[in-house]
Structure 1
Amino acid sequence: MTYTENVKLALQSITGNRLRTMLTALIIAIGLAALVGILTTLDAVKKSMTEAFSSMGANSFNIRNRGTGIRIGGGQRQKPFKSIRYEDALAFKERLNTPAKVAISVVATRGATVKYGTEKTNPNISIQGVDEHGLGSQGLELALGRNFNTTEVQSGNNICIIGSEVSEKLFKNQDPLDKIINVGNSRLKVVGVLVSKGQSMGFSGDRAVYVPLLKAKLINSTSNPSYTITVIVPSNDIMENVIGEATATFRNIRKIRVTDPNNFEITKSDAMAQTLFENLRYIVWGGIAIGVITLMGASIGLMNIMLVSVTERTREIGIRKAIGANPAVIRKQFLIEAVIICLMGGAFGIFLGIAIGNLISLGMGGSFIIPWEWIFGGFAVCVLVGIVSGYYPAKKASKLDPVEALRYE
């Protein structure tokens, strides 16, 4: 019954000082909104990244002439090794003696314009050369048509597979298969259209044209392109063995002496995601710091308001003590009042933070999430702030002398 009465008295006091209560709750709401908003955004980004990288296959690794190149802060840019040549990539594919599949790909250009009749795209289309395993290694699926076969890859036929965005721009409601399109200075027949993958982290796989590997070599805008080798392993259990075999094979192809280090980089398919996850923790700590600083300001404001409330209600406290209320009851009343104010602000702040976080996430091409751990954590923080801020004013109120309190004007 004591708690029920204290809650009623706390609500009466809050109702009697609406403006003051709303301003205090708003400060708490802003602090929690900043904290929950940033953390919700990061959770949504992680989920989007995980989905994007898992679609590329967890049981694979890439051989490149440089690492992922992800840097946070002012770190030095990674220097690339000498390019992986077309001949080196083909030799590796022939020599690797494991159950794994080998896919080879290369970017011919990133700024091509694709035309069909009177329709044309913006000059931001990526042209990539791939072999018969190239689409699968990148998690791409065909919506229409077929993949390249081995003969077409080796002979460099004038054919292509286009992304969904390119197809929609050029062909509207027409069937794109077997149509001839102009890609840069090349005329290519469309043999396939990819399933739309949408955007992930601001990048779109739909604005691309895929051509056979040898064709990409012939039209490449770079004088010394570096090819990417992707090894798709059937089981994660043999991943390390295949990596060891691949390393030894490629060292022989590159003619690296036993005492010299590798002049190429091997990265697992999820290495980029893991690197980003590790670097995102700095942003998480930054978000937590912003929220904590704001909540500290809110708790100081709440403590000040509660001290003013104690002074204003000195006579009321004297009356309650005179009719039998002990110091513990008075202390609970003011603590409950502080916690209720925090919970009011916290509820609004958590809702606002989730809304802001998901709006940013959806704007970046991510998905909507409800961060239950941050919701429960936010309410726990609210209770903690209420107790910390309200303890001193509650203690001061509980120690008031009833006789002096009754005489207070």
Structure 2
Amino acid sequence: MFSLFRENVRIALDSIRSQLLRTILTVVIIGIGIWALVGILSAVKALENTISTNFSSMGANTFNIQRYEFNVQRGGGGEREKINPIISYNNIREFEDTYEFPGTYTSVSFRCTSNAEVKFENEKTDPEIQVYGVNENYLQNTGTEVESGRAFTYFDIKNNNKVCLIGSDFTKGLFKDVNPVGKTLSIRGVKFKVVGVLESKGSTFGNNQDLKVLIPIQVARGMYTSPNINYTISIKVDDKQYLQTAQDEAIITFRNIRGLSPIEENNFGIERSEDLINRITSITGVLEVAAWIISIITILGSSIALMNIMLVSVTERTREIGVRKALGAKRSTISTQFFMETIVIGQFGSILGILLGVLTGVAFAAIFNFDFSLPWAPMIWATIITFIVAVIAGAYPATKAAKLDPIESLRYE
């Protein structure tokens, strides 16, 4: 049985070599369909990995109060876009004083600037550093770890100490070959002592999260005095089973702070990391469906091309088929041979498409700094699909070859 299978594969390869150009074109067409499937799904998977990692670091038991929801809805029919007031400093102070749900930690923060210039001794960075004003709970609520040194303490924040935490990329530039902990850097002429270096978080959509400086929030307010500073409130719950209750209490508290009546809608947003992940997943789901549609259309075209090349092969080898039948070859032997040829061609196309798709995913992840992982499911599906396509495309040519009359076939010129 195995020797017959091996012989059929050998004959199939010899046949492929004899019509190399047509075979290459068919393999390329099949490969393009599989490339579309594996390539798009690889890129989508890399996007999902990165987003899930970044948002899940916020914690499954954490939620934010911010100016807008993740999806700001615009009014239709000439209706204006809803504009929420900023979350002001007075709002966050009143919230901290009022919100007392047990087992929670409240973090308040704001982004001071995204183009700061940081100086150390006689060197300075490009004006591309993000500076955040934060309190002592910011790190744990955002899932940020300290790689070396220490985190902010309660007294650092309350005493407005001139201390800071820096992103890991500073150790590759400004503090290259120097331990930054204990050193003094300057931002806008204000000197800060570095007390810790944050663990690397990478980059998301071109936003480098490792080129940032965290400073105490009151110190930041003294340095950056824009009248429209928008703050973010983050609440972490010790026990996830109380997350919804804590969130409801936070909404009631903030509605009272905003002076909203019971019939008025919230003029602020509530977001949980899992909500963001679910929404991103729904978006990537649409991309996955698009990938399947594109690949199915392309593979359908490749199946027609594969059937055509096999029909031409049957016609060209009519005399050969007649000789085989005259020597005692059965119908099943002839049909199996042609089936084997279509399957071999299909799998060549599958291998080409998978390689191109994986390379596309790797390139996409490298360009956008996403977390790439091999798309095993699409690769397995690609192999199965090409096998099914080969069987369907080879059924008619194989049946036609098997039914040829040996005498008429021997007369064929």
Q: TM-score, normalised by structure 2?
A: 0.90
User: Structure 1 residue 257: deviation in Å?
Assistant: 0.7
- Which residue pairs with 1:264 in the alignment? 268
- Which residue pairs with 2:38 in the alignment? 36
User: Structure 1 residue 229: deviation in Å?
Assistant: 0.6
SS of residue in 1 equivalent to 2:174: helix
User: Structure 1 residue 291: deviation in Å?
Assistant: 2.1
- Which residue pairs with 2:167 in the alignment? 163
Aligned counterparts of 2:154 and 2:88: Cα–Cα separation in 1: 19
RMSD over aligned CA atoms reads 2.4
Matched, 1:193 2:194: no
CA deviation string 1:102-137 (max 9, x = no partner): 111111111111112221111111111110001222
Query: Which shows bigger deviation, 230-239 or 169-178?
Result: 169-178
User: Structure 1 residue 305: deviation in Å?
Assistant: 0.9
* Contact kept? 1:60, 1:232, Cα under 8 Å: yes
Aligned counterparts of 2:84 and 2:403: Cα–Cα separation in 1: 74
User: Structure 1 residue 401: deviation in Å?
Assistant: 2.6
The structure-2 alpha-carbon separation of the partners of 1:188 and 1:104, relative to structure 1 and needing over 3 Å to count, comes to: same
Aligned counterparts of 1:387 and 1:336: Cα–Cα separation in 2: 9
User: Structure 1 residue 240: deviation in Å?
Assistant: 1.0
Alignment of 1:171-190 (within 5 A): 171-190=175-194
Aligned counterparts of 2:67 and 2:371: Cα–Cα separation in 1: 33
- Which residue pairs with 1:336 in the alignment? 340
Amino acid at match of 1:37: G
- Which residue pairs with 1:83 in the alignment? 86
* Contact kept? 2:106, 2:234, Cα under 8 Å: yes
- Which residue pairs with 2:55 in the alignment? 53
The structure-2 alpha-carbon separation of the partners of 1:89 and 1:56, relative to structure 1 and needing over 3 Å to count, comes to: same
Alignment of 1:99-248 (within 5 A): 99-220=103-224, 222-248=226-252
Aligned counterparts of 1:322 and 1:258: Cα–Cα separation in 2: 92
Query: Which shows bigger deviation, 101-110 or 387-396?
Result: 387-396
The structure-2 alpha-carbon separation of the partners of 1:78 and 1:9, relative to structure 1 and needing over 3 Å to count, comes to: farther
Unaligned ranges ≥5, structure 1: none
- Which residue pairs with 1:11 in the alignment? 13
Amino acid at match of 1:384: I
* Contact kept? 1:197, 1:206, Cα under 8 Å: yes
Aligned counterparts of 1:180 and 1:3: Cα–Cα separation in 2: 74
Matched, 1:297 2:326: no
- Which residue pairs with 2:76 in the alignment? none
The structure-2 alpha-carbon separation of the partners of 1:258 and 1:368, relative to structure 1 and needing over 3 Å to count, comes to: closer
* Contact kept? 2:171, 2:177, Cα under 8 Å: no
- Which residue pairs with 2:393 in the alignment? 389
Aligned counterparts of 2:377 and 2:90: Cα–Cα separation in 1: 52
Aligned counterparts of 2:81 and 2:288: Cα–Cα separation in 1: 25
Q: What fraction of aligned residue pairs are identical, expressed as a percent?
A: 39
Aligned counterparts of 1:390 and 1:293: Cα–Cα separation in 2: 18
Aligned counterparts of 1:317 and 1:69: Cα–Cα separation in 2: 65
Aligned counterparts of 1:286 and 1:221: Cα–Cα separation in 2: 47
Alignment of 1:256-405 (within 5 A): 256-405=260-409
SS of residue in 2 equivalent to 1:266: strand
Aligned counterparts of 1:264 and 1:101: Cα–Cα separation in 2: 20
Amino acid at match of 2:244: E
Aligned counterparts of 2:243 and 2:59: Cα–Cα separation in 1: 13
Amino acid at match of 1:17: Q
The structure-2 alpha-carbon separation of the partners of 1:91 and 1:221, relative to structure 1 and needing over 3 Å to count, comes to: closer
User: Structure 1 residue 67: deviation in Å?
Assistant: 1.6
Q: TM-score, normalised by structure 1?
A: 0.91
Amino acid at match of 1:45: L
SS of residue in 2 equivalent to 1:170: coil
* Contact kept? 2:171, 2:178, Cα under 8 Å: no
Query: Which shows bigger deviation, 275-284 or 190-199?
Result: 190-199
Aligned counterparts of 2:343 and 2:336: Cα–Cα separation in 1: 10
User: Structure 1 residue 36: deviation in Å?
Assistant: 0.8
User: Structure 1 residue 260: deviation in Å?
Assistant: 0.9
Query: Which shows bigger deviation, 284-293 or 379-388?
Result: 284-293
Aligned counterparts of 1:112 and 1:81: Cα–Cα separation in 2: 28
The structure-2 alpha-carbon separation of the partners of 1:387 and 1:78, relative to structure 1 and needing over 3 Å to count, comes to: farther
* Contact kept? 1:358, 1:367, Cα under 8 Å: no
SS of residue in 2 equivalent to 1:229: strand
Aligned counterparts of 2:81 and 2:286: Cα–Cα separation in 1: 21
Amino acid at match of 2:88: R
Matched, 1:97 2:109: no
User: Structure 1 residue 211: deviation in Å?
Assistant: 1.1
User: Structure 1 residue 40: deviation in Å?
Assistant: 1.3
Aligned counterparts of 2:356 and 2:299: Cα–Cα separation in 1: 15
* Contact kept? 1:155, 1:214, Cα under 8 Å: no
CA deviation string 1:278-299 (max 9, x = no partner): 1112222222233223322322
User: Structure 1 residue 326: deviation in Å?
Assistant: 4.2
